[in-house]
Copies of this chain bind each other. A is one copy, B any other.
Amino acid sequence: MLNETLAAICPLDDEAIAAARALQARLTKPMGSLGALETLAVRLAGLAGACPPPIPQPAALAIFAGDHGVHAQGVTPWPQEVTAQMVANFVAGGAVVNAFARQAGVGVTVVDVGVKADLDPVDGLLDRKVRAGTRDLSVEPAMTRAETLEAIEVGMRVAEDLVRQGARALLTGDMGIANTTPSAALIAAFTHADPAAVTGLGTGIDSETHARKVAVVTSAVVGLHAEDPIDVLAAVGGLEHAALTGYILRAAALRVPVLLDGVIAASAALAAHALAPGSVAAMVAGHRSAEPGASVALGYLELEPLVDLGLRLGEGTGAVLALPIVASAVRVLHEVATFDSAGVAHK
């Protein structure tokens, strides 16, 4: 499915873009007065190949969960069991992202792509476990190439299914204790940024833990000699990162906007970009995470986030917060009267 997906990613439709620009100029508002929302709506018209593009609702959030062998290096104070516990919390509807999703009317799907625990089958949880957690990336490659491709396939299939079920926008979510460490390594690897500059405080760590985390990321990136994006993901990534990469790529192939959450999504977006630069056209940066690596990654992809409120939770919270803004931007092209139709004088 990966080759077919990469081949299906095509450039924005110039005709739809031109039509959306022309429509923006006729609507009852001063030209440009909606700032970034005008640019966004025009781009989504180009993505869909239609003006107006579909209103991005219903929208679906997939939370990919996985564990990390690098947890053994003490890069976080949280016990590894919290990944599985939070998966149960998502399924029960008790996490922050569930509250945000109810507010925004977003459906939530939880995908176990690599949790290091046997999870009981339950509605709303997809068992797509590739492996019970990655290997320790500070010691050996986190995944084999085959495992990485399998996780990418999981993400692609989840995206495909959600869109088939009616989703008009896909949102990225993630859960995995220690997963800001592989994210930082991926960001440093793909953007060639200084590992120290992209390694943040994650869920909140002390300076000693942070120093250890920077050392782990630096050594992983220095020891990395892979060129192929799949090999980079395999060496220093995570199962949820690989799944998110596939999810993003499939959204792009289906010409459906994909709202990126925070630093984990941004690192997966870099992998997607490395595999198919055109996939960036489908990406909408939901928010600017407080993690420094997220800003480096978004800058590299030339994406401006919609929300910037100092969030650093993950789960998909920043993507869900941004959805109503994206929907509002698109609605303008559907619903706003023109100067002519409303009988409003133009300047």
Contacts and interface: CB of A to CB of B under 8 A. Distances in A.
Instruction: Among A32, A102, A324, find the residue whose CB has the most chain B CB atoms closer than 10 A.
Output: A324
A335 B99 contact: yes
B204 A99 contact: no
Contact of A342 (B88, B321, B327): B88
Interface in A88-111: 88-89, 92-96, 98-100, 102-104
B34 A331 contact: no
Nearest to A344: B85
A309 B309 contact: no
Interface stretch (A73-81, A244-252, A295-303): A73-81
Interface string A290-329: 1000000000000000111111110001001100110110
A28 interface: yes
A27 B317 CA distance: 15
A347 interface: yes
B312 A94 contact: no
A34 B345 CA distance: 44
Contacts of A89: 28, 337, 342, 344
A311 B102 contact: no
Nearest to A79: B345
A10 interface: no
Given A103-B324, A309-B35, A27 B344 contact: no
Contacts of A347: 76-79, 203
A31 interface: yes
A26 interface: no
A345 B117 CA distance: 15
9 contacts: A28-B86, A33-B203, A35-B311, A36-B309, A36-B310, A78-B347, A94-B337, A98-B335, A203-B347
10 tightest A-B contacts by CB?
Answer: A35-B310, A94-B337, A30-B203, A33-B313, A77-B347, A99-B335, A36-B309, A85-B344, A99-B331, A324-B324
Given A34-B96, A94-B336, A103-B328, 14 more contacts: A29-B96, A30-B203, A34-B309, A34-B313, A34-B317, A35-B309, A79-B347, A81-B345, A82-B345, A85-B343, A88-B343, A92-B342, A103-B324, A307-B325
